Chain A
């Protein structure tokens, strides 16, 4: 088994461990988070669009 395969397997195991650890907290957040209004969600989506445009701008500078 070469170095790369060893690192791939350890990375995958670490990610699986993080998923298992974070899963209960995720369920808890899903149950207990307040519902956002459509206006709040639209505000958040607008922010994400601005960030996407900013990333595209950064790519154009490389």
Chain B
């Protein structure tokens, strides 16, 4: 009987811990998205050159890969997450300026934002509601991501618009898989650090938004 009580107590404590990580992750994610929006607007206002995007993305990724893991378990980790997301938002400025200058640029940006929101919220809600375990996707998503990076390198020099479209579409598919995978990891206790969970989900949102911008930009351009 006592053993049953202990098991129930352990389960409820585990559920509480998971809910706390989820709550903290979504709270930090919301704040970082707002901060990114602010730095993107600042970058647009300052009329930054296109190379800002490249420098910000490389800088942000390097900090996310090498610096963040060392500080993820301390309060400094939160500051580093804001630094990374602020940099990535700042890098978005010139891209948004470029799309805004298109005849239907405002429409493309709005649809990309709305589309990203619908995909993220829909997939997160699905993973949270069904509580399915998507850990089987791990290897597939990583291999898919590496293949996309290889294709992106090839297309830097080939510059084929159809290939850009295909790469963007595949990136959205892979990032959608990562949303399910990351959310499922939080639910099932595979990710217990909300700082790392936040940066993972932020990167998926960022990539989906950029890819949607590219797809809608190409398809919406009559020239």
Interface set of A (CB-CB < 8 Å, partner B): 3, 7-8, 10-12, 14-16, 18-19, 21-23, 25-26, 29-36, 40-41, 43-44, 47-48, 51-52, 54-55, 58-59, 61-62
Contact = CB atoms under 8 A, between A and B. Distances in A.
A7 B54 contact: yes
A58 B146 contact: no
Which 3 pairs, one residue from A and one from B, show the smallest C-beta to C-beta distance?
Answer: A36-B136, A62-B220, A30-B139
Interface of B is mostly: helix
B111 A35 contact: no
Contact of B51 (A7, A16, A23): A7
A10 B53 CA distance: 12
B174 to A, nearest CB: 10
A32 B176 CA distance: 21
A47 B126 contact: yes
Given A54-B118, A62-B108, A22 B145 contact: yes
A58 B164 CA distance: 17
Contacts of B156: 8, 11-12, 15
B102 to A, nearest CB: 10
A55 B172 contact: yes
A41 to B, nearest CB: 8
B134 interface: yes
Contacts of B50: 7
Contact of A48 (B134, B139, B152, B176): B176
Q: How many interface residues does chain B have, given as a range? A: 35 or more
Given A59-B219, A62-B107, A48 B173 contact: yes
A24 to B, nearest CB: 10
B153 interface: yes
Contact of B111 (A3, A11, A34, A58): A58
Interface string B146-162: 10011011001100000
Given A52-B169, A62-B108, 13 more contacts: A11-B156, A14-B58, A15-B149, A25-B142, A29-B141, A33-B135, A34-B136, A44-B137, A44-B177, A47-B180, A54-B119, A59-B219, A62-B104
Given A18-B61, A19-B149, A55 B139 contact: no
B88 interface: no
Contacts of B142: 22, 25-26, 29-30
B79 interface: no
B2 to A, nearest CB: 33
